[in-house]
Protein backbone atom coordinates (compact mmCIF):
# COMPACT_ATOMS: atom_id res chain seq x y z
CA UNK A 1 0.00 0.00 0.00
CA UNK A 2 1.32 3.38 -0.95
CA UNK A 3 1.57 6.43 1.30
CA UNK A 4 0.79 8.72 -1.65
CA UNK A 5 -3.00 9.36 -1.69
CA UNK A 6 -3.17 9.39 -5.48
CA UNK A 7 -1.31 6.05 -5.85
CA UNK A 8 -3.33 4.55 -3.01
CA UNK A 9 -6.54 5.63 -4.74
CA UNK A 10 -5.40 4.10 -8.03
CA UNK A 11 -4.47 0.85 -6.24
CA UNK A 12 -7.91 0.80 -4.59
CA UNK A 13 -9.64 1.29 -7.96
CA UNK A 14 -7.49 -1.48 -9.54
CA UNK A 15 -8.37 -3.86 -6.70
CA UNK A 16 -12.07 -3.07 -7.09
CA UNK A 17 -11.90 -3.57 -10.86
CA UNK A 18 -10.04 -6.89 -10.40
CA UNK A 19 -12.77 -8.08 -8.04
CA UNK A 20 -15.57 -7.01 -10.36
CA UNK A 21 -13.83 -8.14 -13.57
CA UNK A 22 -11.33 -10.87 -12.60
CA UNK A 23 -8.53 -11.83 -14.98
CA UNK A 24 -9.91 -14.83 -16.92
CA UNK A 25 -6.51 -16.28 -17.76
CA UNK A 26 -5.42 -16.27 -14.11
CA UNK A 27 -8.75 -17.83 -13.08
CA UNK A 28 -8.40 -20.52 -15.77
CA UNK A 29 -4.78 -21.17 -14.74
CA UNK A 30 -5.91 -21.69 -11.13
CA UNK A 31 -8.71 -24.04 -12.24
CA UNK A 32 -6.32 -26.06 -14.41
CA UNK A 33 -3.77 -26.25 -11.61
CA UNK A 34 -6.44 -27.51 -9.23
CA UNK A 35 -7.74 -30.06 -11.78
CA UNK A 36 -4.18 -31.31 -12.42
CA UNK A 37 -3.59 -31.71 -8.68
CA UNK A 38 -6.82 -33.74 -8.37
CA UNK A 39 -5.84 -35.97 -11.31
CA UNK A 40 -2.39 -36.57 -9.84
CA UNK A 41 -3.91 -37.43 -6.44
CA UNK A 42 -6.32 -39.91 -8.07
CA UNK A 43 -3.45 -41.42 -10.06
CA UNK A 44 -1.38 -41.87 -6.90
CA UNK A 45 -4.32 -43.53 -5.14
CA UNK A 46 -4.90 -45.84 -8.12
CA UNK A 47 -1.21 -46.79 -8.20
CA UNK A 48 -1.26 -47.57 -4.49
CA UNK A 49 -4.40 -49.71 -4.91
CA UNK A 50 -2.80 -51.55 -7.85
CA UNK A 51 0.20 -52.39 -5.67
CA UNK A 52 -2.10 -53.74 -2.97
CA UNK A 53 -4.10 -55.75 -5.53
CA UNK A 54 -0.90 -57.23 -6.96
CA UNK A 55 0.28 -58.32 -3.51
CA UNK A 56 -3.14 -59.83 -2.76
CA UNK A 57 -3.22 -61.71 -6.04
CA UNK A 58 0.26 -63.18 -5.54
CA UNK A 59 -0.53 -64.41 -2.04
CA UNK A 60 -0.97 -68.12 -1.48
CA UNK A 61 -3.11 -67.61 1.63
CA UNK A 62 -6.75 -68.52 1.16
CA UNK A 63 -7.78 -65.66 3.44
CA UNK A 64 -5.94 -63.06 1.36
CA UNK A 65 -6.29 -64.17 -2.26
CA UNK A 66 -9.33 -66.40 -1.81
CA UNK A 67 -12.00 -63.84 -1.00
CA UNK A 68 -12.73 -62.95 -4.64
CA UNK A 69 -13.24 -66.58 -5.69
CA UNK A 70 -15.33 -67.11 -2.55
CA UNK A 71 -17.62 -64.22 -3.48
CA UNK A 72 -17.83 -65.61 -7.01
CA UNK A 73 -18.80 -69.06 -5.73
CA UNK A 74 -21.42 -67.62 -3.37
CA UNK A 75 -22.91 -65.65 -6.27
CA UNK A 76 -22.86 -68.70 -8.55
CA UNK A 77 -24.48 -70.92 -5.91
CA UNK A 78 -27.15 -68.30 -5.16
CA UNK A 79 -27.88 -67.91 -8.86
CA UNK A 80 -28.01 -71.67 -9.35
CA UNK A 81 -30.34 -72.22 -6.40
CA UNK A 82 -32.68 -69.39 -7.42
CA UNK A 83 -32.95 -70.25 -11.12
CA UNK A 84 -32.21 -73.97 -11.40
CA UNK A 85 -32.31 -75.99 -8.20
CA UNK A 86 -35.35 -74.41 -6.50
CA UNK A 87 -37.62 -74.45 -9.60
CA UNK A 88 -36.66 -78.04 -10.43
CA UNK A 89 -37.11 -79.15 -6.82
CA UNK A 90 -40.53 -77.42 -6.63
CA UNK A 91 -41.55 -79.12 -9.88
CA UNK A 92 -40.33 -82.53 -8.70
CA UNK A 93 -42.03 -82.27 -5.28
CA UNK A 94 -45.27 -81.25 -6.99
CA UNK A 95 -44.99 -84.28 -9.29
CA UNK A 96 -44.65 -86.69 -6.36
CA UNK A 97 -47.60 -85.11 -4.57
CA UNK A 98 -45.80 -83.19 -1.80
CA UNK A 99 -45.36 -79.66 -3.15
CA UNK A 100 -42.72 -77.57 -1.39
CA UNK A 101 -42.29 -73.83 -1.95
CA UNK A 102 -38.69 -72.63 -1.61
CA UNK A 103 -38.07 -69.11 -0.30
CA UNK A 104 -37.07 -66.55 -2.88
CA UNK A 105 -33.67 -64.86 -2.64
CA UNK A 106 -33.10 -61.12 -2.89
CA UNK A 107 -31.92 -61.00 -6.47
CA UNK A 108 -31.80 -57.17 -6.44
CA UNK A 109 -28.62 -57.51 -4.40
CA UNK A 110 -27.16 -60.64 -5.95
CA UNK A 111 -27.52 -59.83 -9.65
CA UNK A 112 -25.51 -56.57 -9.75
CA UNK A 113 -22.72 -58.28 -7.82
CA UNK A 114 -22.76 -61.38 -10.04
CA UNK A 115 -22.96 -59.43 -13.29
CA UNK A 116 -20.21 -57.07 -12.16
CA UNK A 117 -17.94 -59.99 -11.37
CA UNK A 118 -18.76 -61.65 -14.68
CA UNK A 119 -17.97 -58.42 -16.50
CA UNK A 120 -14.63 -58.02 -14.75
CA UNK A 121 -13.82 -61.69 -15.39
CA UNK A 122 -14.65 -61.23 -19.07
CA UNK A 123 -12.44 -58.16 -19.30
CA UNK A 124 -9.59 -60.04 -17.61
CA UNK A 125 -9.99 -62.96 -20.03
CA UNK A 126 -9.93 -60.56 -22.98
CA UNK A 127 -6.74 -58.96 -21.65
CA UNK A 128 -5.06 -62.36 -21.34
CA UNK A 129 -6.13 -63.47 -24.84
CA UNK A 130 -5.05 -60.15 -26.35
CA UNK A 131 -1.69 -60.43 -24.59
CA UNK A 132 -2.15 -57.12 -22.82
CA UNK A 133 -1.30 -58.59 -19.44
CA UNK A 134 0.27 -61.71 -18.11
CA UNK A 135 -0.16 -63.52 -14.85
CA UNK A 136 -2.83 -65.47 -13.08
Tell me the DSSP string of 48-84: HHHHHHHHHHH---HHHHSHHHHHHHHHHHHHHIIII
Q: Do 91 and 34 have their domain in common?
A: no
Residue 118 has pLDDT above 80, yes or no: no
Query: Residue 125's pLDDT is what?
Result: 75
The residue range of the domain holding 25 is 1-58
Provide the number of structural domains found in the chain: 2
Q: Do 70 and 134 have their domain in common?
A: yes
> Among the three residues 42, 58, 74, which one is the final residue of a domain in this structure?
58
Give me the chain's average pLDDT, please.
81
d(CA 117, CA 112): 8
pLDDT-based confidence at residue 135 (cuts at 50, 70, 90): low
Q: Do 65 and 119 have their domain in common?
A: yes
The rounded percent of the chain whose pLDDT value lies above 70 is: 92
Alpha-carbon distances of 102 from 79, 84, 98, 111, 117, rounded to whole Å: 14, 12, 13, 19, 26
Q: Do 68 and 116 have their domain in common?
A: yes
d(CA 13, CA 7): 10
Q: Do 82 and 52 have their domain in common?
A: no
Average pLDDT of the residues in 55-76: 76
Q: What pLDDT, in 10s, does the model give residues 68-111?
A: 778 888 888 888 998 899 999 999 999 999 999 988 888 888 88
Amino acid sequence: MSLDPLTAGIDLVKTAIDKIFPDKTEQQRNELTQALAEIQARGAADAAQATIDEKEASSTSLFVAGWRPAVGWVCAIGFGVQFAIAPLAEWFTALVGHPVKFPSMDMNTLMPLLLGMLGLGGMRTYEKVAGVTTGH
